[in-house]
A and B are shown apart, each in its own frame.
Chain A
């Protein structure tokens, strides 16, 4: 039997498609049919914003988990158990995205229809040439530092990249805080997010080195 996104399957009361529990009888509801990009802010009952209070986000996650988690539905009907599984899956996914500033920024862009540069095939080719050249140079320096420079040299390089990452993050945040960002601002943010991936990979490699020591 198809479930309506507008009415509770159990008591028939009207509900909003995003409400996980029926406002009238409290039964768990099926998640909304997937259409385009799922608004993960809405999944957690939040409005779209780059600036989130981490503590409040955590509290929201915990209180929603308490209501929706499959452990709460072990005695329920198979249908409710399935809805609980689906709702909790969506909730976990939303929380994973929103608590990470980079993923949160990517999601905000996705909600505005902007893809992060470099996601599609041939994406690296879309990166500016100076950046790719700089990237190659950075990596060569890292390899050199690893073989010859020792831990201090590696740490210095990592600090440099961390600085770049911080700056990029701040700029992305500025663009996403704009009430009405221009397409150019969004494109710029998307470019910067693509760079962040490179920085993250670079720092992973540094940490791999640190773990070896």
Chain B
């Protein structure tokens, strides 16, 4: 039996017909680019070059305007339409890729109207219809494809599309879907910093360990790579998939708007953001600039801008330090260079921060706007050419840990972050009730201990487990991450040979049917009350936690001083009251407060358990499941994870 249950990938990859090109595409938050490697007819040597795709420029602004006409307008022309139709012109759509309508991203300062879709995907309302981020991105890709074809004089059918290294599975899937929707065969999703390193490594022919600091319009990525003999091995990645130059613009726009008394209409917000961006760009070379907004003029200095963006720039520090640590590179030494990528690294304050952070002057001799697309073109050439121009190989990693929900809402990690891909991991679970025939599998991505703090990728139910006494069935859950960083999960019952395997799709992704429908036309989608669902989830969680707390107080209340008991009682009461209300966030906050005030108690309960264990009781008598998350954490810090594996949540059928 093969270990892997992955489906045979589609139809065979048709060999690209002569006279067609495979391009590298940087699908950016602010700008998108297409680049290609074409051998020089004279020398046969080929260097990647970015194609002029928008009014003579290689940068296509990632702006899509829905005008009511047949096809939307993309690029600079769309940007010009934005002031008059701020809600129908979508910019920075990448920030919404793979996100659900409950995501904080949808609550930031923006001129958009959001609708709620059936799978919780973000939807924009434009010109009387709704479009998803995948559709908007597909428009950008389609524009690049068509314009690249015009430039090259030949069809473009295949592409390598870059994504931030820190993109999660849902965001990657969404990007791939956008490519498909645009009529492109997506050869690979390539991590942006890796692409930049490919471009640099080939250009400089250098070897050693490099950091790629990539601050784009909407995402921050840090990668540590080792280049040896043409192999680009990514050692660690980190980042923040919602941090970039857009946030600089919004922060400055906020400060501009706060000086105005005018009402914040979508139009004014759009104008403020545009004015902020223009000011930010001008301030890279000047010390002061005049900004006109809402009929008022004021001067903005570079120092003022730096003051406003400082907290944002500093947020790039912790992920960078963590990546260095994960890569085993001691801080302050061991790096041979720092490569700057992304338009936001033009901001002088960012450069100064990077220099200080790594103790090295950063490299930026390849245009930071083009470098990612150039690297993607190299990769496209590597994957499609009979004789690629460069003999290199890139080895990427999984950016975030992948795991399963186990009992008590704790995540068990199967694949750790920064594991070289492709990779797989299998874990066996068993049933915990006699005759149990089904098991819920909940797949999560992230570094946190608790399910609720991680990204939910998929839920599915393994049914048809043969009814056996508890603990006899053996269910193997296998995670496979492919070379694009995309995960597939399969579960099978081993003991009886009755097997079932399921490949899952991410929760926030789109179903095949949805894609089909989008290809045909946009259809009104039934609205779903996401808020109500969140509230129900929060209430259920609150009930569960209250019950557990009550039980602990009953069994171990003697460990509490009177005032501690009072604080816990008060927090429990507050949680009961919040549960009766309608705000799911209030419930979540109350849960967190209870968790905080009871953490010391949980620790004592845990210590008592250990004490008992040391006195000769079996540790198994101590019900780990009854502990609060804090206690469980403390418990596992003590070696408690060796106390036995927990089974995934299961229900009797």
Contact = CB atoms under 8 A, between A and B. Distances in A.
Interface in A42-82: 58, 62, 65-66, 69-72, 74-75, 77-79, 81-82
Contacts of B640: 124
Given A85-B4, A198-B639, A69 B12 contact: no
Interface of B: 1-4, 6, 8-10, 12-13, 15, 187-188, 228-229, 231, 233, 321-322, 325, 379, 382-384, 393-395, 419-424, 480, 482-483, 610, 613-614, 618-620, 636-640, 642-645
Contacts of B10: 78
Contacts of B614: 129, 132-133, 136
Closest 8 CB pairs of A and B: A121-B644, A118-B642, A74-B383, A123-B642, A70-B483, A92-B420, A62-B231, A89-B422
Find the residue from B382, B483, B639 having the highest chain A CB count within 10 A.
B639
A29 interface: no
13 contacts: A71-B383, A71-B394, A71-B483, A77-B12, A78-B10, A78-B13, A118-B639, A120-B644, A122-B620, A124-B613, A132-B610, A135-B639, A136-B610
A211 B12 contact: no
A88 B419 contact: no
Contacts of A198: 639
Contacts of A9: none
B638 A136 contact: yes
A1 interface: no
Contact of A95 (B8, B420, B618): B420
Contact of A72 (B379, B393, B613): B393
A125 B610 CA distance: 10
A152 interface: no
A124 B637 contact: no
Contacts, number: 128
Contacts of A72: 393
B393 A65 contact: yes
A181 B276 CA distance: 71
A95 B419 CA distance: 11
Contacts of B229: 62
Contacts of B322: 211
B643 A92 contact: no
A82 to B, nearest CB: 7
B393 A71 contact: yes
Given A69-B483, A70-B422, A122 B12 contact: no
What is the predominant secondary structure among interface residues of chain B facing chain A? mixed
Nearest to B226: A58
B231 A89 contact: no
Nearest to B380: A74
Contacts of B188: 71, 74
B47 to A, nearest CB: 20
A166 interface: no
A96 interface: yes
A197 B642 contact: yes
Given A65-B393, A71-B383, A127 B639 contact: yes
A201 B483 CA distance: 31
A82 B6 contact: yes
Find the residue from A70, A72, A74, A194 having the highest chain B CB count within 10 A.
A74
Contacts of B3: 31, 34, 86
